[in-house]
Each structure stands twice: as C-alpha cells, then as structure tokens.
Amino acid sequence: MATSRTSAPVLIVGSGPAGLTAALYTARANLHPIVLEGAEAGGQLMLTTEVENYPGFPTGILGPELMGKMREQAERFGAEFIRADATKVELAGPPFRAWVEDVEYTGKALIISTGAKAKMLGLPGERQYLGRGVSTCATCDGFFYRNLELVVVGGGDSALEEATFLTRFATKVTVVHRRDRLRASKVMQDRAFANPKIGFEWNSTVADVLGEQTVTGVRLRNLEDGTEKVLPVAGVFVAIGHTPNTDLFGGQVELDQAGYIVTPNPPSTATSVDGVFAAGDVVDHTYRQAVTAAGTGCAAAIDAERWLEAHGHDSGATTDNWE
Amino acid sequence: MDPGRGDHPFEEVEVHRGRGPDRTDDMTKAAAVTDATFDSDVLQSSTPVLVDFWAEWCGPCKMISPVLEEIADEHKGKLTIAKLNVDENPDVAMRYGVMSIPTLALFIGGVEKKRLIGAMPKRNIVTELSEFIG
C-alpha cells in the first residue's frame, strides 16, 4: 500500500498484534500512524492455523484471518501501511527516523513492535535442507508430508501444537525434547499424549539432519548417556523457541542479555530512549501471547499519545505541520 | 499424494474461506495456472515466468502476494507471474519437488533457473531474479 506521507506523529515498526493494536489506538487518537509492517507482515500469527485463546472468538479464528482483521480495523481509522522491512533506524530524536532502503520515514514518537522469530537448531544439515524437509512453518508445509514420518523439535506449546497439527498428514510424529518433561500448557500436553500418532524422544537433541536430495532422517543424541541413533524421517519441524528481532536497534536502545528491548519502568512501555516505546514479543520473554502483545501495543499507543501531549504535540494538528 | 476433496485435512480452513481478506482472490497482475495449463502457460511461455506455489492456508504466501504484484507491475513484458495453488494442483508441485510454500520458481524456456523458498523481502526477490530478468 503506497503512501505519499513519510512523516507522522507516531511511527510504528512491526505489524503483529502489538503493532496493529498500537496502530489502531494511535489512529483513533488522531495521531495518523505510519506502520512499517515488514516483509513478514502480520508476524508469527501468520504461521499458525486456529488460534483458540484469543478472547472474543469462542470457536477459534485462523491466525492470518485474525491479523487481517486487526490490520483492517487499524486501516479503517487511518493507519497507513508500508509493506517492507525497515532497513535502518536512527533513534537520536525526536524525530525518530527509519529507512526502507533509501526512503526515510520519521515519527515524533516511535513504537517498536518488531516481535520475535523462531530459533533454528544451528546445524549445517538444517540450512542445507531448509525447504527440502526442514521447515519452520508446519501450517505451510504439513500438506507435503502426507503418509510420511516427521520429527518436531521442542517441548513448548508451539512444538506440541505443530506436532498435533502435523498428525493430520503424517503417519507418525516424534517430538524430540531435551528434557524429561514438557514446558507446554496442560491442555496441549493432554492433547498430544492422547494422540496415538505422537511419540516422544525424551532427553534428546537432534545432532544432525541427514539427507540426500531431501531429508531422510535425523541423528538423535541422548543427553543422559550420550548415545546416538538415527531416526528415519522425511521432515523436521523446528519449534525450540524464539529470538527477538532487535538487530536494527542494537547500540541505540537498551537491550537485555538475550536481546530483548528493556522497558525499565513497567507497566510503562517507555524504553531507555525518551519518546521511543516498545511492545509485544520484542519486549516480552515471559508471556508471548497474541493477547498480551495486543495489550502492550495498546499501552504503547497510550504512552506515546501522553508523551506527545507532554511534549507539545497538538493531536488536532494535520500531519504536515506537527513539526 | 491424493488430495481427495472428501477427507481434506483443511476442510475446517475452507469453511472460513471468503471471510478473511484474501489478496489472492482479486489478483489481476498474476495469472492462475493449473496442472492442466502449466505446460502451455509456463514451460512454453516466450517470456520468463515466475511461478508462485501457494495455498489458501499459508500465511506467508499471503505476505508475499502483494509484493509479487508489485514485481509484476515493475517488470511488465519481461516477466510473467503465475500462481499455482498446490492444494488444487498437486501434480506440478510434486513434479518439481516442492515441499515448502511459498516457493517461487523462475522458468525460462521451459527450464527452472532459480528457486526461492519462504517469504522474503521484495528487494531479496528482485536481487535473486535480477541476473535473469535484467
């Protein structure tokens, strides 16, 4: 969606539930947000199917559909979207500046909601066979594994959700987890344990991904006794957690050791840079839910609005003369 | 692979069809190709064809769909974009060993010259294709 405007009272980077909720609230506050929504617009929910825990949808809603509706709702109130990744930011402001290649966007206040991305195992075979048996998106690629055997690596909710989903296609799904118990929620565990197609390899990691043209198996290492064995499978789905998307911001705003943006005075979403706010999974390594991201996105919008008011921004002003 | 409609694993998904914003439905800049038309529309095309292997249930496919429209717009006459729904057209997807979507495959003179797997920014797609489409 093209826009002629490149400056706004509020600039938002990221378009998952946090960014889109911030866009909705700032748009309704007449702050004419511009959202750099990124090449992976919609964020991690675009990789899911049924979302069963977003309040207000008693029979569930598809992740991409939920994100489509959030975007539509923000757009209805005047949020503008740039469908490209920010390639550089400059947080010495206000105004705060972000670039998409050589196009510069500025915001008097900035909301960072760039989320997190799935971690990979970091094995040579994993990269080699990405898209040829190694997948990071069960909902996208499960279809191609009809009547085949798979492994899912991980022990959290997303791992079990993927394993459960993949049993629609696969004859057997083995969950490989490095501990002897799962981190996943009770309801997901119950569902997985009750599924006859799901098996477990406890206290184990994937030592390598094996293949020829495509994946033919994984080499598993038992962490207790160090023994290794090969499990013949056609596909490997990785769900071992997330890492925040903060490469753009390093050195310009305080990050914690794991790379998440620090908001030093919660519940405020203010970061170490005055006028820069952060919300959603880029901050949150505790809850990481769509609804908590939306909640903090709302908080960031209100924080930004109040900050702008305190700094003399008249929200009735047109977008051209706020400077 | 037998995607018999009766026991389709994504039946639940299909119930929702049309409720969400679907950028592929009103696609005007990319032609749909099928198992039946792939040979004539893609392999025998006189211009390079970028085939977008996609499916309704695939979120990242929806992410890149508008990007592909832009690319089609900017390369009129030099590049055709063709969308192949893998759900409805499993033969071509299987023939080319597609195991992950979105997959973009560039065909020139009936030969696959380049394959890009997964959603990626527009500039990456354009850079990857540049040596073939100028």
Whether A140 and B99 lie within 8 Å, measured CB to CB: no
- The single-letter code of the amino acid at A149 is E
Residue A271's closest CA among A283, A262, A284, A280?
A262
- Which residues from chain B sit within 8 angstroms of residue A142, using beta carbons? 9
B105 touches A at CB < 8 Å = no
Short-list A276, A284, A279, A238, CA closest to A259: A284
Calpha distance A72→A66 (Å, rounded): 10
Residue B56 near residue A58, CB atoms below 8 Å: no
Listed in sequence order, the residues at least 6 apart from A270 whose beta carbon sits closer than 8 Å to its beta carbon are A263, A264, A276, A277, A303, A307
Average pLDDT, chain A: 92
Region A242-259 average pLDDT: 95
What band does B57 get if pLDDT is binned at 50, 70 and 90?
confident
Is residue A90 classed as helix, strand or coil in its secondary structure?
strand
Q: Provide the ipTM.
A: 0.75
Cis peptide before A267 (omega within 30 of 0): yes
**What average pLDDT score do residues B96-110 get?**
94
In this prediction, residue B119 carries a pLDDT of 85
Q: Among B1, B21, B100, whose Cβ lies nearest the Cβ of A140?
A: B100
Structure confidence by residue, pLDDT tens digits, A53-89: 899 999 999 899 999 999 999 999 999 999 889 999 9
In the predicted structure, residue A240 carries a pLDDT above the cut 80: yes
* Interface membership of A117 toward B (CB under 8 Å): no
Whether pLDDT at B95 is above 50: yes
Structure-token pair, residue A68:
């489509």
Residues β-bridged to residue A204: A222
- Check if the beta carbon of residue A259 is closer than 8 Å to that of residue A176: no
Contact of B123 with chain A, judged by CB distance below 8 Å, is answered with yes
pLDDT at A239: 93
Chain B residue closest to A37 (CA)?
A: B63
For A140, which of B1, B19, B58 is closest by C-beta distance? B58
Give the per-residue pLDDT at B118.
Answer: 87
A197 contacts on B by Cβ (under 8 Å): none
Among the listed residues A102, A137, A180, A298, the single catalytic one is: A137
Establish if B126 touches chain A: CB-CB under 8 angstroms. Answer: no
What would the mean pLDDT of A34-39 be, rounded to a whole number? 94
Q: Does A290 touch chain B if contact means CB atoms closer than 8 Å?
A: no
Residue in A closest to B124 by C-alpha: A39
Residue from A44, A45, A65, A114 whose CB has the most chain B CBs within 10 Å, to mutate? A65
The C-alpha of A139 sits at a distance from chain B's nearest C-alpha, in angstroms, of 7
If one counts every other C-beta atom within 10 angstroms of the C-beta of residue A248, the result is 18
Q: What percentage of residues in chain A have a pLDDT greater than 90?
A: 80
Q: Please, which pLDDT band fits residue B28 given cuts at 50, 70 and 90? A: low
DSSP A265: S
Distance CA A291, CA A282 (A): 14
- Per DSSP bridges, beta strands A134-135 and A235-238 are parallel
Mark yes or no for CB contact A141/B100 under 8 Å.
yes
Per-residue pLDDT of B4-13, as tens digits, reads 333 444 433 3
Alpha helices in chain A (DSSP H): 17-28, 63-76, 124-128, 138-141, 157-166, 186-193, 290-310
- Strands (E) across chain A are located at 7-13, 34-36, 50-51, 61-62, 80-82, 88-90, 96-100, 103-112, 116-118, 134-135, 149-153, 172-176, 198-201, 204-211, 215-222, 228-231, 235-238, 242-244, 276-278
pLDDT at A315: 57
Of residues A124 and A268, the one with the higher pLDDT is A268
- Quick one: which H or E segment has residue B105? strand B103-108
| Bigger pLDDT: A244 vs B118 | A244
